[in-house]
Amino acid sequence: MRYLHTMVRVTDVEKSLDFYCNKLGLKEVRRHDNEKGRFTLIFLAAPGDGDTNAKRSPELELTYNWDPEDYGGGRNFGHLAYKVANIYETCQRLMDGGVTINRPPRDGNMAFVRSPDNISIEILQEGAPLPPQEPWLSMKNTGVW
């Protein structure tokens, strides 16, 4: 058995791709439009993942239903998690792109943000935590994560 992907429903393809690709840093690896089913599937991978078809790393599947639906909120989904080379640089890039850091990386190890569709995203420092530093150290939580 091999883990393949996580699917999240999105309400705006452009906003979602801007968040996941331009701000978070994932890349689109394939897309499937299904006219009969009236949906689009967009598969994303972290840089370096998904480069070969033989043994792809797990992907994020964005599902866009062409007919509007209200998906509601809720924490029953949980969250997506990604490791990054430098959590402070990643969080700064996200903030510079207009993303709210809901749980700042005060410990140099973990932060949370939310996608345009309110999916909670955990960002983890690869390897050992970075030494705590400002402005992250004194930054308060914002909203829920």
CATH class of 5-65: alpha beta
Least confident of 17-26, 51-60, 70-79, 128-137: 70-79
Where would I find the beta strands (DSSP E) of the chain?
5-10, 27-34, 39-45, 59-65, 79-84, 101-103, 110-114, 120-125
**To the nearest whole percent, how much of the chain has pLDDT over 70?**
90
Q: What is the pTM of this model?
A: 0.76
User: Cβ atoms within 10 A of the Cβ of 94, count?
Assistant: 20
Q: What is the mean pLDDT of residues 83-112?
A: 96
The residue that leads in pLDDT, 89 or 3, is: 89
CA 27 to chain centre: 11
User: Cβ atoms within 10 A of the Cβ of 65, count?
Assistant: 14
Residue by residue, DSSP assigns 17-46 as: HIIIIIIT--EEEEEEEETTTTEEEEEEE-
Cis peptide before 105 (omega within 30 of 0): no
* pLDDT at site 71: 75
In which residue ranges of the chain is CATH 3.10.180.10 found?
5-65, 78-145
Which CATH fold would you assign to the domain 78-145? 2,3-Dihydroxybiphenyl 1,2-Dioxygenase; domain 1 (3.10.180)
pLDDT in tens, 7-58: 898 999 999 999 999 999 999 999 999 999 999 999 999 987 755 555 678 8
**To the nearest whole percent, how much of the chain has pLDDT over 90?**
69
Residue 126 among the catalytic residues: no
Q: Could you say which of 35, 122, 126, 134 is catalytic?
A: 122
